[in-house]
A = this chain, B = another copy of it.
Amino acid sequence: MTPRTLDHPDRSEIRLEDVLHALSDPVRLQVVGYLAGSGESSCSAIDLAVSKSTTTHHFRVLREAGVIRQVYRGTAKMSSLRREDLDALFPGLLDTVIRAYDTQRAATP
C-alpha cells in the first residue's frame, strides 16, 4: 500500500562533479539526449544496447546525480530531465551538453 517513492537529491545537493560524471557515459548521454526531445518517457521507451538491469543502473545514476526525476506510473517508471533545477544551478550547461551530443552524433555516425 505504500506508494513507491524514489530518492532525489534536493536542488541544493546537486554537485557539478556528479552531474558531469553522470553525463560522461555514452549510454546515459543517449538517455539525456532522448529525454531532451521527448519530455517524459518510460525507461523502456528508449532502445539502449544494454541489458535491463544495466538500464536500471544508468537511470539511477542520472537520478542520484540530480539530472532526471523519476516517478512511478502504474507498472512504468516515468523519467524526465530536471531542467528547472539544472538551469537554475548551472545556466546553459544542459543545453550546451545536449547540443554537443547532437553535434558529435551527427559528425560520427
Q: How far is the CB of A70 from chain B (nearest CB, A)?
A: 22
A92 to B97, CA, bound (A): 9
Report how many copies the assembly holds: 2
Determine the main DSSP class of A at the interface with B.
Answer: helix
Q: How far is the CB of A72 from chain B (nearest CB, A)?
A: 29
B104 touches A99 (CB 8 A): no
B21 touches A26 (CB 8 A): no
- Chain A contact residues, CB within 8 Å of chain B: 15-18, 20-21, 23-26, 29, 89-93, 96-97, 99-101, 103-104
The residue from B26, B90, B96, B103 contacting A17, defined by CB atoms under 8 A apart: B26
Q: How far is the CB of A76 from chain B (nearest CB, A)?
A: 28
A101 to B24, CA, bound (A): 17
A100 touches B96 (CB 8 A): no
